Every structure is written in C-alpha cells, then in structure tokens.
Amino acid sequence: MRLGGKRALVTGGSDGIGLAIAEAFLREGADVLIVGRDGKKLDAARKQLGDNVDTLSADLSASAGIDAVVEHARRGPPVDILVNNAGVAFLVPFETVSEDQFQQSFALNVTAVFFLTQRLLPHLAPGAASVINISSYFAHKMIPKRPSSLYSLSKGALNSLTKSLAFELGPRGIRVNAIAPGTVDTAMRRRSIENLPEAAQAELKAYVERSYPLGRIGWTSDLAGIAVYLASDEAA
C-alpha cells in the first residue's frame, strides 16, 4: 500500500472528484478525513467508503468552517496529505455575473485554499507533506458557447498560488502541486451545464466528443491515480 501510515485530509470529499480521491487513498492504506458542507452527502459517502473514513461537516467559504477543520485536524497526528478540492463553478455570461457569485467563487476556490493551507502549515508532516490543489484545464482553455470568465479567473488564481507555494514551502520539504482536469462528469458539472440553453448543451457535448482523443469526458476515477501518486513517496 503506497499510502500506508499516512493521514490525508480531502476537502469537498463527499462526492465527485474528492470522493474518488478519498476512496483511492483509503484503498492505498491512508487514514482519511473528508470535509463537506452537506451532512447528508457526508453520511452517504461514509456508507460508500466504510467506517474507516472520518467525516466533518464544515463550510470552507467562511472562516468559521476553516477554523473547525483546523481544530479537528490538530487533534490527531500530523497531516501528510492535504487535498484542496472543494470548489464551485458558475458558468454564467460575464455580463450577468453577480457580486455574490464572484465572492462565492473566490471564497471557496481561492481564499479557502489559501487560509486552510496556511492554518494547517504547523500541523503538516515536517519534511514529507504533500499539498494537492484541484485546479482546472479551463484556467487557460476556453470553449465556444461555454461562459467561464469567473470560473477560469478563480482557477487561474489557484494555479498562481500553487506555483508560488511550491517555491515557498519546498525548502521545508512540503510539495505543492495541482491537478488540472478537463471536463469531468460530476454533479457540479451537470448542475452548471443545466443552466445553459439546450442548443448550447448539445453544441458543448459535440465539441467535447470532437476534442478529447478518447471521445468522452473524464470520469472521477480517472483522477484518483495521479492523486495517489502525488501523495505518495514516489513523487518525492
């Protein structure tokens, strides 16, 4: 088991990409804490993953939620793996983006990553921790008829944070990387796509099938392997 004896914290771990990563970490022997806002989703995740997973309900878009996660994490041994996966995607035209949507996007996609990592820094395993940020291919790749100004902006900021933290924390032996998937079939994606007109949805589906070599969008399980690798000593 490549992650035996390691302690992992996965935000947004109750469904989608986070759940797939948590499942892979457990399979590789890690002790896993998943954090999510929705208690019912966390309960469902626990039923799927088994009693070996630890869960915590917290809203990371608020400082109180970050405080709760940090306090919970400090009760146990050092955290070897931090996966900053919690995020939100508002795929709405630039001219209709509201201030509330803007604030929510940065609160969860950027601010939460910044301050959760900062606050957990004293509790990350010295000389061996791995921080993995879940970014997006769409920080720099745009698709016609798919408005992503706000989402791309927030993920671009996350990319910059990842690169700068890699240099700041690298001398301490803490690795910082990002996984930037393309289109992945998650509940969040399905919700965002449902907001587009039917014609735009059909055009987007056809575009994806033409663009990806496999002729399909990604599955959450596609991302689990690279997360395990980056979390493991193989990625030292």
Considering only CA atoms, which of 34, 27, 46, 33 is closest in space to residue 7? 33
**Tens-digit pLDDT profile for residues 82-131:** 999 999 999 899 999 999 999 999 999 999 999 999 999 999 998 999 99
Is there a domain that residue 142 lies in?
yes
pLDDT of residue 13: 97
* The dihedral sign for the CA sequence 107, 108, 114, 120: positive
Is there a domain that residue 198 lies in?
no
Domain that holds residue 157: 7-184+220-235
Is there a domain that residue 136 lies in?
yes
**79 phi, psi to nearest 5 deg:** -85, 120
Is there a domain that residue 214 lies in?
no
pLDDT in tens, the chain (236 residues): 999 999 999 999 999 999 999 999 999 999 999 999 999 999 999 999 998 899 999 999 999 999 999 999 999 999 999 999 999 999 899 999 999 999 999 999 999 999 999 999 999 998 999 999 999 999 998 877 778 999 999 999 999 999 999 999 999 999 999 999 988 877 766 776 777 788 877 777 777 778 878 878 888 889 999 999 999 999 99
Instruction: Please name the residues in contact with 101: beta carbons below 8 A apart, sequence gap of 6 or more.
Output: 90, 92, 150
Q: How many domains does the chain have?
A: 1
pTM metric for this prediction:
0.92
Residue 175: give its domain's CATH number.
Answer: 3.40.50.720
Let me know if 212 is a catalytic residue. Answer: no
Residue of 137, 151, 207, 212 with catalytic role: 151
Is there a domain that residue 97 lies in?
yes
Is there a domain that residue 207 lies in?
no
